[in-house]
Structure formats: C-alpha cells, structure tokens
Structure 1
C-alpha cells in the first residue's frame, strides 16, 4: 500500500518521462530519419492519407442499440475503433511533422469527437446494474489514459478548451467513479481487466494530478490502483504464464508496465514494481510461447499467429537480463491492433531501440510451465523450425476453453494441428452458450469424445501430471485426464506425448482408457486448418508449403472420418477447419491407441474424400 507521505516529494509529470533528454521535438525529428522505424512510419503515413479522405463516422444510438437487440458487437466497435485510429494516427503524425496544419486540424477534430461521445464504454460492458455515467470498462479507461497522455505530450499545442475538457472528462468518467462509486467487479479480477482498467486510471492520475493540490486524491486513486494490480499479479502462477495467451500478455501485462513505469518515474524510484520477482518471471513469458515464426501457443481465446510489441519488449529487455530481445521480423504492424490502442502505439516508437541487434529468430528450447500445465518445445532442423505444445491445467481459466489434453504441432511455417483460438465475441459467447461454440467447447480441440461425452467446465475439471522429462533428444509428458469428463463409465484416461527431437521431429501420442463397463463408443479427434489427404492404409497426410505431417494409426481398430467445418473467427469471418475423427470399431473396457505424427518432405499425394458439415 502506498504511504500518503510519499507524495510530498513527487516530481511533477513532464515530457522527460518520455524522451531521454526531455526534448520531444528533437526526438521526433530524429525519429523521421531512423531506418529501423522507416517501414512503420510509412504505414502510419499511408494510414493518415487514407483517413484524410475517408468520411468521419460518429457513434449513434442506433449502433449502440445493436448489442441490446441482437447481441452483436462488431457494428458499434468498428466505428469506435476507427475513431481511435484517427486519434492515434494524427497524433503521431503531428508529433513527427509539427509544421503540418492538416495533421493538427485532424488531430484536434479527433480529440473533440472523442470528448463528445456519450460514453467511452462499449455497449457489451454496459448494463442496468450501474448508471452509464458510473460505468468503467477497459476501453473507457484506455481512452482516459490516452487523452491524459496526449494532453501532456502536446502541452499548449492543444487549445485550452480541449485541455480543460480532457481533465474534466477523465475526472468525471474515471477518477470520481473509481473512488466514490465502486467497488467494480474488475478491481479484484485476476486477469487483464484489473491491469488495464486500474493501470489506465492510475496512469491518468499520475499524468493529470499534481502532488500538492491533489495529494490526498492522488494517493487514494493510487492506493486502489495498487490493490487491483496486486490482484492482477495474483492471477499468475510462479511460472509466470499468462493463461489468456500472448495477445492478452501484450495487453494486460503491457498496461501494467505502462503504469509501473510512470509510477517509478513520479515516485523517484521509491515505488518499483520491476523489483518484484513475479513480475520478472511474467516478463519472460513472451519468448517461451512462440512455436515457429509468428505461430504461437494459442490456448484459450488467442490468435494462432502472434507478434511482439517492440517498445514493450525492448523496455523489458532493458530491465531484465533474462528477457530476450525478439526477432525484428515479429514486430507488430501499426495497423495490426484493430482496437487502435494509443499506449502501445506510442511506446512502440519511443521505447524501441534504434541500435539493437535483434536475432533472426527465437532459439530452440524446452519450457515447462507447471502452474499452467503447459509443455512447449521449439526445435530447429535442416533449416526448418518445429514446435510442439501440450496443455493440462483446468477448465475454469480466464477466457476458458474445455481443452485438457489438447496439443499443437507446427513446422516449416505451417500450423498442422491447431487451436481455433477466439471466435467472434457476442453476448452468448460469454454466457450460458459459451461451450456450444466449437472454438470454446472440447468438440473443437484435439481431445477425444468419450462414451458420447465432451469435456465439462469447472476448476474441478483438472489434469494431473503423472510424468515429465525434458532432454536433449526427447520430451515426454503424461497426464491423467479423466477428471475433465463427466462420464459415469470412465475410470481413467491417460495421455502420453513423446516428442522426438532427433532428425525431423516426430510425436508419438499414446492414449489409455479404462471403463467400469463397456462404453457405447469412443472417438479420437484431432483438429487442423489443413485439408487432410489419404496417404495409404492407416495414414493421413496434412500438406504444408515445404513439409507434410503424416498421421499413422491402426486402421484395423480405428475408422477414420474427415469433416470440413466452419466457425466465425474473432473478426466475424467464416473460417474453414477440419476434424479428423478416429472411431473405435470395437469398444472394450480397456483400450489403448498410439498415433504417430511425423514430418516428411512434401511429395505428390492423392486425394481424400471429405465430408462437409
């Protein structure tokens, strides 16, 4: 907890927080000529040119009401995030080219427009339990932080009415509700909400409130912020794994870092979250969760392809020797963030190292995260990279999927066995119908359907690790997974992965089932984005660009069926995926099967009749 007396000696917030020598104009002028950011600045300039000739859309009641009447989010959010894209783009261009009247006018219009919004919250986060004026969600907190930061960075370049209005709105929509109308559910959330909401409010307070006249108020806001930050960190195990995946690590941990940095600077180094050992461990998560190129371990509501925020990554690499500087090829593109968040966009420019010699790719390695129950392995062979990941844990995780025993295989730039990741966010997606969505229920994961049963949700639905070994030539992991199923006849389900790293890697999957009485049926299921092909008796093949993954199975005991399916991805697009179902021909009380997944150089292959659903 913050001691109120610490704030007597606070430094005043200033632009020296952002620029090494406090000279913002010189920094942005020099940035225009740095080769390491040339491609990103070209993207921002192109985006500015697009926005200058695009009609400005405003948020209307009709758009706001769509979520209430239809449960749909994307219509309102498209306009909402485009407005933030305008704000960010013209702010950066105005900093880069302060002589441009066109950019400055566009920036001021963007600030005015956002200050004129009825609410900064998204419709999905508003309900009758709390007045609209007292509601604080992720995006309202982010917006207040962004405006407070722009107010500081632009100083008197912002007209006084806008400077005053920003301070008034942040006070009305964030500070007063946070202190006077809580508690909010997210204040004790052990996931990204506590870091983003509280971190943004705390950051805005550090930027807007002076130490002397606002001392008691600033102390109260920071006391509450610090408490929420503690809950956020409580959501991590000692292994530092982010159960929500890389995207939410960038998001939640990113906003934690932005806040912790500002707090460190205003407190003159007296309050330093970066000395916390848990924070140190969380900082190393990013370098562990990449499988192959941009392909990542995307258990839970995460995308299969990831990127790094160079600003955040370089900042953490400066803080910790354990944090690796990421490959520059993985740097996030400016337009990649469809939510158009200001804080990371700014820091990707001001925290980026101009002279950092980044590696060409992540190195090989084996990582076991015991609290998460994840095993991850990266291998490099014959100029190609390969990745394997397997998951235990429990079925009550943040953005939970019912996915115990699920696994991923990547190689040669292709994801052969995948996780569907996050679907389109709708009202029911976070409601009672969550597990009817294939991307969330076990039916959309590489786990069996046992005696007609899918996996069930709940923290008690957990995996138990039986055996683990990681060596130079192989990794082995065994789990008891019967606890994931509410299946009366099932007594035991043990799954063992043996990841052979010699030569071109291969994976042996061994499943053992024990039933109290004869089961009605059993189906082994694997999930892939690649259309399978028949490669001979007991063999299916998934063809990538340079490699193929061949799946070998006992065709006398198992009959194979391939079904083409579709789901709505996070961006509302229908996406094709395939289930490879291996149905047991003659169920028995004791059953065991082995599947071999091996990489081979790609050759000509025949076709496989595919069913459609």
Structure 2
C-alpha cells in the first residue's frame, strides 16, 4: 500500500508541520552529550550505577553472543516453555545496551565500541525481533509487531541519534530501514493490530515505541505524511491505554506493569512534548497525573510493594522515570534512593528505562522515605495503608475488583500484611510465563487461582474467573487510628447455595498494628465444609497445643490465635514456580470450620508482636 494515498486529519497534519527537528537536544539540557556523559562518568552521585554498568561490561567481554536458533525458537510451540529463547534474546539486548552506554561513558575505548557495533549487527541480523510466544500463523512473521519488536525499533532509532557520529553510514541506514520495514510500514499498512485498542500495557509499549521511533527518525518534509499517520494511530492507542485506568490512577496489572506500560507512555509523551514544543501535551491530562501518583501508593515498607495480579512482592523503582514524574507533577513524590533498581534488575534489559535512569536522575531531589499514608483507590477497589511507629513501618492492603482484570487472578477479597519490609501474609504474584499460563489452564496455577490466595473455600467452591465475578464495596473509611474496608463477595463464587459473603477488615494503626478480619456467610442450607485459607511465605510456628500460630521474621511476629473448638488448623507446604522459573515454597494456613452452618460469622485477629530472644527466627 502506498502511504501517500492515505489521508490524515487536518489538525494532526498541521501540528506535524509545526514540529521542531529531532536531535540530541531532546536528551541533553545543554545539547552537549560529551559534557553530560563526562559528568556522569566522574560524578560521585552516579558512582554505584556506573560501577554496575562497568561490571556488566567486563562480564560480557568474557562471554560470547548467544545464538537465536530455530531449535530455541521452536521450543515454545513444542513445549510451551518461554525461558530458553528469551534468556538468549535478552542477553543479546543486554550486550547492545551495555556496550552502547559504555561507548557513551568511555568514548575513547575501541573495545567497547567494537562490541557495540557487533551487537547492533547481530540485532539487525535477527530473523524477527518478536518473541515466539507472540507469533502465530494468523499473521506473517514479517507483519507481526509485539512488545519486544517495538522496543527494539525504538532502541535502534534512539541509538542512531545518540551515537550517530560513531555509526558507519551503511549500518545507520540499515537500522533505519529495519525500523521502517518491521514497524512503520506494518503499523500503517497491515493493521489494525489487536493491541492498538488494548486498555493495558501493550498499547502503551507497542504504539509508544513506534511513535517514539517515528518522532526520532521521520524528520524531513517528505516524512510528514507518514509521521502524521503514525502519530494519529499512536495517539489513539495512548488514549485507549489511559482509558484502561480509573480516575484513581490505579494499575490493576500491578506496579511492575505500571513501570512498563506507563514508562513507555511517558517516554513517548516526553518526546512528543519536546518535538511539538509543548503543543501536544499528555502531561496536562488530569488522569495522567493520577496514574503518575500510583507508585508512591504501593510501598508498604522497605521493598515490599502491593502485588495483586502478576506483580512481584518486593520491588525497586526506575529512578529516572520516578524523578521525571516527581519533577513534572506536584504531588508526585520522589522515591528514596535506596529503592533504585540496579542495572541488572530488568531481566528483559530494556534500553529506554536504562538510558533514562541516567538522563533523568536529577529531575527531582531524593526523599528519605515514603511518608505514612492511607489510600482509597475507588475504581480498582483497593485499600492501602502504610503506617509508621517507633516499632517500624507496617502495611496492609486489600482488594475487591472483578475477576477479569488485566493479568487477572481469582482473588476478590485478597489481602496482605507487611512489617519491617517483609510480608507476613502474602500474595504470590506472577508465576513463570508459559503457553498454558495464558491459556485454558491459567487458574490451575496456584499464583493465579483462588487456591493460592487468602480467600475462603466455600462448600468446596473456589472463586471463578469472569467480569460478572465482581465485588461490591460496602464500607471504606480511614482515620488517624484505623482503616475500615468491607466488600460483598458472593458473586465471586459459583456456589448456588451461597446467598451472601461479606468480608470486612479493621486495621488498627498502633505501634504494633493489628488486623481484625470478619467474614459473614449466608447460605441457603448447611454447607458440607468451610475453609478459611491464608497464604504466607514464612514457615508457621505452632504453640499452645496448636491454638496459637506465629509467623516469625527476626524479632517480629504476626500472631494468630484461634479457638480449637471452632477450627481445625491444617498447615500445608506447597511449591510454585516464580516468574523466573525457580521453585519457591509457600504455605497455606487452612482453618476448617468444625460445625458449618447456613449462617456463620468468623472472626480472626492478626496482631504484630515483639518476640523474646528464644523465639527469634531468621
């Protein structure tokens, strides 16, 4: 299809005609890259980051570029496993990014420069930039655009700007040709793609990367029509991405996907803002500011971060993105530097955040720590409380929502408790991504199914997936001393006799906090069984003839006392495979109701206590 025959809207066409030229001034305040990188290389403030990048460079100099063979590529189709190909793929991106950064930091080093050119050559020689999990027979490989192909194109476009004086002309031309062939032309000629109107990270990452590459590479008068078409489609995708958030700015996919999707949204919005000289400004949208505030609401002390859905229980921050948002928006708080993600933290080795962790480091000052606060996220139906006392920092979070959320878990009524930066009651978060993980067997995985969450099993029934499986918030309130949250959850269960299930929490913000949990069940007849299940990564300790259960970390414990006449306690050690394919141990604490009735009220108390030396546990 001839791009010149496609018509664009007049407003965008006129806006494109007014765009400034692309260049290194988008990246460096004084438009002096050599000065910036010299300062970074010799600044005490960047010392740790530079040491990490240098150490990675030394490691990579001693290893060979991994091959992306057909055998590796075909494993996903044959076995459903993603890890083998992706490990090799991401290691190649690690070489590309590391030697690019080292070439900027050490421009006199021929060794780094030659390794970078070899990495560019290798990426340009790849049959596809897509991952095997994202290709299928419904669309030719040459027309497929996934997250990682879009990211790769954005990376190459940015490198042609930042290292253009050190790129051989033919290689720069090839990099630009490939971005046209694999991103620009398919995006315009072969769409629409299923991700274009996605209300989650795919629209932001794919369209944002393509739009960013276009803003960098399409800079001539003859490029205006194509750039207009790409920006129109990108703007539509970005609007769909923002639509996926409620006015509370919460990311139901979790903090990791906020970093990912919103990060690429911001990278694009920043380039668009700069090239349009402020005319095209996503940062003026109120909901974007609300989304920017989400990260600071997630941390429950230390690295413990609210991890409903496919998220990790312990997180770090992308310091560049965080500081940029804090500098851009009043009310967005800069994170403490101790939460900085180290260079190797991103196992996918993405260039855009790695670069901006250096470029945007000084957009805002560091803070000592997140302040204590309570957050009611009405649209997501989350409540989050972070409290601080002389005994430390403690956190509580609970959710309603529905069971068709992005990266959904069947987890209505799930909650977590943290103290001193450690989870005592946990959410397993994301497991190993395989074909079946996103297929019909998704909820057989403990990390996704209700069986791996702190929610009850009612008459043998677990929660089921589906948009109709939704919670109704009955109460939510916060004060200086307590947080209250209550939800009706009967719709979450495919249990015909269940008429009502009301779960309520009362979080008392004392020096050593305590949580009161009340579950009220109403069924049409007496159930055969009722199990209150709780999930922890800490091996439980039982005392006083199994009437007292302690979850111990160092000198802090979460104490749960139960009445043996009402419950039979069953503790089971279980295993699941985490996101990186490693076996992890967790424990389910099952309180079997001994005499279930049509109407039951279950009250349980979780309270933090300090331990005597004899009960300490590492």
Length-normalised TM-score, structure 2: 0.97
Alpha-carbon separation, structure 2, partners of 1:264 and 1:383: 46
Preserved CA contact (<8 Å) 1:544 1:602: no
Alpha-carbon separation, structure 2, partners of 1:279 and 1:536: 53
1:607 Cα deviation (Å)? 12
The reply to whether residue 238 of structure 1 matches residue 263 of structure 2 is no
In structure 1, the residue matched to 2:376 is: 368
In structure 2, the residue matched to 1:224 is: 233
Preserved CA contact (<8 Å) 2:394 2:513: yes
In structure 2, the residue matched to 1:502 is: 510
The reply to whether residue 450 of structure 1 matches residue 458 of structure 2 is yes
In structure 2, the residue matched to 1:277 is: 286
Deviations 1:427-472 (A, max 9, x none): 0100100000000000000000000000000111011111111000
The reply to whether residue 199 of structure 1 matches residue 217 of structure 2 is no
1:604 Cα deviation (Å)? 5.4
Preserved CA contact (<8 Å) 1:468 1:477: yes
In structure 2, the residue matched to 1:589 is: 598
The reply to whether residue 531 of structure 1 matches residue 556 of structure 2 is no
Alpha-carbon separation, structure 2, partners of 1:533 and 1:76: 41
1:37 Cα deviation (Å)? 1.2
Alpha-carbon separation, structure 1, partners of 2:69 and 2:127: 9
Instruction: Give 1:387-536 correspondences, 5 Å limit.
Output: 387-536=395-544
Alpha-carbon separation, structure 1, partners of 2:613 and 2:470: 42
1:224 Cα deviation (Å)? 0.3
In structure 2, the residue matched to 1:20 is: 29
Instruction: Give 1:119-268 correspondences, 5 Å limit.
Output: 119-268=128-277
In structure 1, the residue matched to 2:300 is: 291
Flag the 1:607–1:43 CA change in 2: closer, same or farther, 3 A: closer
More moved, 528-537 vs 17-26: 528-537
Instruction: Give 1:25-40 correspondences, 5 Å limit.
Output: 25-40=34-49
Deviations 1:170-227 (A, max 9, x none): 0000000000000000001000000000000000000000141100000000000000
Deviations 1:53-101 (A, max 9, x none): 1122110101000001111000000000000000110000000010000
Task: Specify every segment of 5 or more residues in structure 1 that has no aligned partner in the other structure, as ranges.
Answer: 609-613
Alpha-carbon separation, structure 2, partners of 1:360 and 1:579: 36
Alpha-carbon separation, structure 2, partners of 1:101 and 1:180: 41
Deviations 1:390-412 (A, max 9, x none): 01000000000000000000001
What secondary structure sits across from 1:213 in the alignment? helix
Alpha-carbon separation, structure 2, partners of 1:134 and 1:438: 36
Alpha-carbon separation, structure 2, partners of 1:319 and 1:570: 33
In structure 2, the residue matched to 1:611 is: none
Preserved CA contact (<8 Å) 1:534 1:607: no
Alpha-carbon separation, structure 2, partners of 1:125 and 1:336: 23
Alpha-carbon separation, structure 2, partners of 1:186 and 1:453: 34
The reply to whether residue 305 of structure 1 matches residue 314 of structure 2 is yes
What secondary structure sits across from 1:5 in the alignment? helix
In structure 2, the residue matched to 1:58 is: 67
Deviations 1:91-123 (A, max 9, x none): 000000100000000000000000000000000
Preserved CA contact (<8 Å) 1:395 1:457: yes
Deviations 1:230-276 (A, max 9, x none): 00001000100001111100100000000000001111111000000
Preserved CA contact (<8 Å) 2:391 2:511: no
The reply to whether residue 76 of structure 1 matches residue 85 of structure 2 is yes
What secondary structure sits across from 2:163 in the alignment? helix
Q: What is the number of equivalent residue pairs in this alignment?
A: 607
1:503 Cα deviation (Å)? 2.5
More moved, 236-245 vs 209-218: 209-218
1:331 Cα deviation (Å)? 0.7
When the two chains are superposed, the root-mean-square deviation of aligned CA atoms in Å is: 1.3
Preserved CA contact (<8 Å) 1:530 1:577: yes
Deviations 1:350-404 (A, max 9, x none): 01018x5422211100001000000000011114110000010000000000000
Task: Specify every segment of 5 or more residues in structure 2 that has no aligned partner in the other structure, as ranges.
Answer: 1-8
Preserved CA contact (<8 Å) 2:374 2:384: yes
The reply to whether residue 95 of structure 1 matches residue 104 of structure 2 is yes
In structure 2, the residue matched to 1:603 is: 612
Preserved CA contact (<8 Å) 1:550 1:600: yes
What secondary structure sits across from 1:32 in the alignment? helix
Alpha-carbon separation, structure 1, partners of 2:616 and 2:248: 44
What secondary structure sits across from 2:462 in the alignment? coil
What secondary structure sits across from 1:87 in the alignment? helix
1:605 Cα deviation (Å)? 6.3
Length-normalised TM-score, structure 1: 0.98
In structure 1, the residue matched to 2:385 is: 377
What secondary structure sits across from 1:438 in the alignment? coil
Deviations 1:484-521 (A, max 9, x none): 00001111111110000022100000111111011110
What secondary structure sits across from 2:42 in the alignment? coil
In structure 1, the residue matched to 2:326 is: 317
Alpha-carbon separation, structure 1, partners of 2:407 and 2:462: 18
More moved, 415-424 vs 374-383: 374-383
